[in-house]
Amino acid sequence: MVRSIVFLLGLVWFGLAPWSVLAAGDCGWSPDKTIDGRDGERPAGSADFKFDSRVEKFSSTADKYFWCIENRHQYFVTVFRWGNKNNDQLYYSNFVEPRKAVPTSGTFSLGHLIDIRFLKFKHTYENETHWKTIEVETVFPKILGKINTPSNFGELNARASFQLAQLTQATPYDEYRYLNGQIDVERLSARRDLFDQFIAYEPIILNTSTIVTIPTSLDTLYSIEAGKYEKYQPSDFIRMSVSLENVIQLFNGTRTSDVSLSVFPEVKTSINLKRAAEAISNVRIYSELSAVERASFRLPIELSARKELKQDVQILYSQNAEKLVYADAVFKIASEKSAFPLTQVPVRFLFSPR
């Protein structure tokens, strides 16, 4: 457990991008790592918000993607969903309190695409018939979509990374690279000697992080679900930082793969720890992982089982890492008392098939 907690605590997932329309510290960009981004705003009417999607350099095996929305309205809590025509929650599903921002981030390989996607929103005092939709340019991983727009602005950002890889000194891993220069972990893991050498120098980290806004009572949750929550009170919610992480490393000469979940209040004080514990208990909050429809790999039961949300760093699953394959899933946090999802985010793991 110690080995995973060390990497989890060492992960930095908030920063700033130089050209973001969002305020410093709201969404997590690192100015020296940003590869590409698209942002915008909707300043008119009762829905006043900014949105941002971007990708930054994360490691030699993956890039990190961010989707972030800031609700600039003074009084209304707003629900947002960001995706494509087949899945309106593919990249982002959250509700955002007034004058606050909620980011979601995840690590993916193979490069990124840019294309028109759909951003849906409605206030919590509106029912399901009041969703509004705008079309926005969006940065997303290649594995989570394709180019649909017949124009030249959507393209795989591989050339620059590939050229950069060619300019660096030759390594034993060069034949195991994708076109964009990132390491193909699935292929490399089949070469035990090279893979051990690689993860001894650079452990592989796959991470998904988000802020979850949890209602502190069932009355608040039921009002949101019914489209009748109007008079916003900050005490009705507690913001939680949630991070799901898969670490592959060499530990005492053995390849290990651990999946851990970290859940704590965004502002970690004794008062907020108590408020969060009461909210999780009162509203019956749980987390759940489910494989995506296209997945050919079945998630281990230790991961797919529904779990009560706990404030802690928990090791959810451990195994020896042999001949790894990618597995795609959806991570959801919700209440046992409601069909309304509090958040839903895409996740990618590396597993050894049993």
**Distance, CA of 321 to CA of 257 (rounded, Å):** 5
| Termini Cα distance of the chain | 22
Q: What are 88's two structure tokens?
A: 């309106």
Question: Which residues lie across from 103 on neighbouring strands?
Answer: 68
Domain count, the chain: 1
Q: Average pLDDT, whole number, for the chain?
A: 86
pLDDT recorded at residue 329 = 92
pLDDT recorded at residue 2 = 44
Virtual CA dihedral for 86, 285, 342, 23, nearest 10 degrees? -130
Virtual CA dihedral for 296, 292, 281, 75, nearest 10 degrees? 160
Phi, psi for residue 199 in degrees, rounded to 5: -75, -20
Is the model's pTM score more than 0.75? yes
Give the percent of the chain with pLDDT over 90. Answer: 69
Least confident window among 60-64, 152-156, 291-295, 313-317 = 152-156
Per-residue pLDDT of 228-273, as tens digits, reads 999 999 999 999 999 999 999 998 889 999 999 999 999 999 999 9
Domain extent for 295: 2-351
Phi, psi for residue 217 in degrees, rounded to 5: -150, 160
Question: Which residues lie across from 332 on neighbouring strands?
Answer: 288, 344
